[in-house]
Amino acid sequence: MGHIWDAPLAHIARSVRQKELSVTELVAHALARIDTVDRRVRAFLTVDGDGALARARLLDAQGTDGVLAGLPMAIKDNISTRGIKTTCASKMLEHFVPAYDATVVARLADAGTVLLGKLNMDEFAMGGSNENSAFFPTHNPWDVTCVPGGSSGGSAAAVAAGEVLFALGSDTGGSIRQPAAYCGVVGLKPTYGLISRYGLVSFASSLDVIGPLTRTVEDAALVLGVLAGHDARDATSASITPPSYVEALTGDIRGVRIALPREYVAEGIDPDVRDAVFAARAVFERLGAHIDEVSMPHNEYAVATYYIVASSEASSNLARYDGVRYGMRVDDAQGLQDMYTRTRSVAFGEEVQRRIMLGTYALSSGFERAFYGQAQKVRTLIAQDFRAVFDQYDIIIGPTAPTAAFAMGAHTSDPLTMYLNDTYSIPMSLAGVPALSLPCGADARGMPVGLQVIGKPFAEVDVLRVAHAFEQATTHHLRRPALRDAYAAKEADA
Amino acid sequence: MHEQTDVASHVAALALLHLDAQRHAALAQQLHEIVQYAHKLYEVDVAHVDPMSHGVVAAVPWRTDTCARDTTVEQLLHSAPAREGTFYVVPPVIE
């Protein structure tokens, strides 16, 4: 199984469709890997082994012609799955079982995938290290003393450790791209509105998107093709017909105009990360692209803007958790108000409470115009920076994060430092543009470094084509964590 | 310092959160530092700038307002912390 497991998703799905490969074998292989590897990585909150094997046997018996036929995958635990717990890694929803599937879950099922389970994350997607999970932290497969990033840390770690063939995450300010960078996999944040948010538990509704985490750009294009497209159940879903993303992967980027903002490689970036970005620039030039340095002057205000906007929206969205209709409720409450307050105080973790407090402050009487209103206007200027660059360029590149994965516990007592770590991923979320992170090197410790490829709204085709050309011209995506290699060796011995 | 803790108390009450003394002091300090950092937004001249509420400005498509019965009462009440028949149970609203 080892050889086929590492093949492109399109190849594996084709083998399933042609009945050269059994879905049951694929799923059994995945479950065995999870059983071995996840004791150290801890990417999964819920493994639905029985459900996955039953689904696999059904697909084997009935056959499937889906684009993603038979592919075992898993989903971040803030995306609703009917009949399977969806906890958001929070004690508030520890026992919550949704009554419906998210649109993306239904589309993946229609495409023939097999859901293995639900993946760990920072509570309610608030965090960049996975240390804010209310249950346990996920570990980076490249070095288990390091964080996998977040908030989709479980998704990135599961893909990197070879526990799943691909995963879904969500991205509000970098939550797909940063963990993808830290774990050495590909993570795509699509344009806001391209993929339905129906069934995604809301954090910051004007920023939240769902996207794939995969081993290669080609795999990301294949999965995106299944997920993208209008959904009447999401009022912010765009009315567009997605193109064929896989056909865009021509390998030819001659004449593509690429911008590298000076602000993305300025003070504060780790020298190893900066070197990797400059090395990537040289690769693009060798491939025939034209690259210039540009300026995006409002970039330095992105983190402050984001934490006001996102926290304000979060304080509003999380007001629904009151212990009445679903989720946790404290016992022995002395009246309704006491039940609300004590339930929220016991069930929300520290970071979620911090964000709710910040958002409530920003929206409170006398401060709303000063903070939320000001941040909304600065957001306009940040989006205008992108439009100005995209008037002259097709693509923007830069680092995904200022450093590679950091040690667990390094920033837990200093939330502001943790927030500043999002400095290169937040502007794209505020502007709503698509951005993809892919491996572009390693730091001195050997930890993966991510390159971000950013495009115009709904120009995922351009993002994928440029990222794919880079990937094919380099070998960074072929590196695998030692932990995964150890498993493969054990498998070979068996 | 008093002002920081007063603000934190006020905000916690609005947010329906109860903070113990140690947590209250820590959050008050962190909130203060984050808000101080956010003050850098005032460096930006936004005199003639419209606010932006969504990442991509696109017309929201109209759709027919139809009644959908995708879920049953039983499914919706399945996750209720407390129920009686087809009702949610809450503590007394009027003492």
Element (H, E) at A76: strand A72-76
β-partners of residue A397 are A453
Is the pLDDT at A356 greater than 90? The verdict is yes
Angstrom distance (rounded) from CA A232 to CA A455:
26
In-domain check, residue B27 = yes
Chain A residues touching residue B31 (CB < 8 angstroms): 354, 357-358, 361
Contacts of A3 (CB under 8 A, 6+ apart): none
* A311 alpha-carbon distance from chain centroid: 19
Q: How far is B51 from chain A (nearest CA, A)?
A: 4
Task: For tokens 């101080």, name the residue.
Answer: B36
Task: Supply the range of the domain harboring residue B34.
Answer: 2-43
Q: Would strands A72-76 and A395-399 be described as parallel, antiparallel, or unpaired?
A: unpaired
How much is the pLDDT for B57?
62
| Average pLDDT estimate for B38-59 | 87
Nearest CA among A399, A429, A375, A423 for reference residue A170: A429
β-partners of residue B87 are B84
How much is the pLDDT for A2?
62
Q: Where are the beta strands (DSSP E) in A239-357?
A: 257-261, 290-294
| pLDDT band at residue A369 using 50, 70 and 90 as cut-offs | confident
Q: How many domains does chain B have?
A: 1
DSSP string, A433-476: --EEEEEEEE-TT--EEEEEEEESTT-HHHHHHHHHHHHHH--G
DSSP string, B31-71: HHHHHHHHGGGGGS--TT-----SSS--PPPP--------S
Domains of chain A: 2-255+434-493 (3.90.1300.10)
Chain B residues touching residue A339 (CB < 8 angstroms): 90-91
pTM assigned to the model: 0.96
Q: Which two tokens stand for residue A447?
A: 């930890």
Spatial contact of A211 and A168, defined as CB atoms under 8 Å apart = yes
ipTM: 0.93
Chain B residues touching residue A94 (CB < 8 angstroms): none
CB of A433 less than 8 A from some CB of B? yes
Q: How far is A315 from chain B (nearest CA, A)?
A: 8
β-partners of residue B27 are none
Angstrom distance (rounded) from CA A271 to CA A161:
27
Are residues B34 and A358, on separate chains, in Cβ contact within 8 Å?
A: yes
In-domain check, residue B23 = yes
Report the amino acid identity of residue A475.
T
What would the pLDDT profile of A209-226 be if each residue is shown by its tens digit? 999 999 999 999 999 999
| pLDDT band at residue A139 using 50, 70 and 90 as cut-offs | very high
In-domain check, residue B53 = no
Give the chain A residue whose CA is nearest to the CA of B32: A358
Are residues A301 and B41, on separate chains, in Cβ contact within 8 Å?
A: yes
Chain B residues touching residue A433 (CB < 8 angstroms): 55
Which active-site residues of A does the annotation give? 76, 151, 175
* Three-class SS state of A210: strand
Report the amino acid identity of residue B88.
Y
How much is the pLDDT for B93?
81
Give the chain A residue whose CA is nearest to the CA of B54: A206
What would the pLDDT profile of A18-72 be if each residue is shown by its tens digit? 999 999 999 999 999 999 999 999 999 999 999 999 999 999 999 999 999 999 9
Angstrom distance (rounded) from CA A218 to CA A215:
9
Spatial contact of A466 and A249, defined as CB atoms under 8 Å apart = no
Q: How far is B63 from chain A (nearest CA, A)?
A: 7
Q: Where are the beta strands (DSSP E) in A215-276?
A: 257-261
In-domain check, residue B84 = no
Angstrom distance (rounded) from CA A494 to CA A32:
12
What would the pLDDT profile of A148-191 be if each residue is shown by its tens digit? 999 999 999 999 999 999 999 999 999 999 999 999 999 999 99
In-domain check, residue B29 = yes
Angstrom distance (rounded) from CA A360 to CA A153:
27
Angstrom distance (rounded) from CA A96 to CA B80:
9
Average pLDDT, chain B: 87
Angstrom distance (rounded) from CA A369 to CA A371:
6
Are residues A377 and B38, on separate chains, in Cβ contact within 8 Å?
A: no
Q: Which residue has the higher pLDDT, A443 or B72?
A: A443
CB of A330 less than 8 A from some CB of B? no
In-domain check, residue B6 = yes
Total CB pairs under 8 A between chain A and B: 178
CB of A36 less than 8 A from some CB of B? no
Dihedral over alpha carbons A436, A442, A448, A454 (to 10 degrees) = -10
List phi, psi (to 5°) of A199: 95, -5
Are residues A99 and B30, on separate chains, in Cβ contact within 8 Å?
A: no
How much is the pLDDT for A417?
82
Residue A440 has a CB neighbour count (10 Å cut-off) of 28
| Average pLDDT estimate for A431-448 | 97
* A212 alpha-carbon distance from chain centroid: 7
Are residues B52 and A380, on separate chains, in Cβ contact within 8 Å?
A: yes
Q: Is A267 left (phi over 0), alpha (psi -120 to 50) or beta?
A: beta
* Three-class SS state of A291: strand
Q: Roughly how many angstroms between the first and final C-alpha of chain B, as a whole number? A: 37
Q: Which two tokens stand for residue A232?
A: 């009447």
In-domain check, residue B77 = no
Are residues B56 and A95, on separate chains, in Cβ contact within 8 Å?
A: no
Chain B residues touching residue A378 (CB < 8 angstroms): 41, 44, 46, 49
* Three-class SS state of A398: strand
Give me Rg for the CA atoms of chain B: 23
How much is the pLDDT for A435?
98
CB of A342 less than 8 A from some CB of B? yes
In-domain check, residue B19 = yes
Residue A63 has a CB neighbour count (10 Å cut-off) of 12
Angstrom distance (rounded) from CA A137 to CA A248:
38
Is the pLDDT at A196 greater than 80? The verdict is yes
Angstrom distance (rounded) from CA A170 to CA A76:
7
Of B30, B49, B90, the CB nearest to A380: B49
Residue A414 has a CB neighbour count (10 Å cut-off) of 12
Q: Hey, which of A278-292, B18-32, B69-83 has the most confident mean pLDDT?
A: A278-292
C-alpha count within 13 angstroms, C-beta hemisphere, residue A343: 28
Give the chain B residue whose CA is nearest to the CA of A426: B55
| pLDDT band at residue A493 using 50, 70 and 90 as cut-offs | low
CB of A416 less than 8 A from some CB of B? yes
Is the pLDDT at A492 greater than 70? The verdict is no
Is the pLDDT at B1 greater than 60? The verdict is no
Task: State the alpha helices, DSSP H only, in A111-201.
Answer: 153-160, 177-183
Degrees to nearest 5, angle at CA A124 with B16 and B75: 85
Chain A residues touching residue B15 (CB < 8 angstroms): 315, 344, 353, 356-357, 360
What Å distances lie between residue A409 and A129, A137, A412, B22, CA to CA? 9, 10, 5, 20
Average pLDDT, chain A: 95
Are residues A361 and B11, on separate chains, in Cβ contact within 8 Å?
A: yes
Chain B residues touching residue A335 (CB < 8 angstroms): 91-92, 95
Angstrom distance (rounded) from CA A248 to CA A91:
43
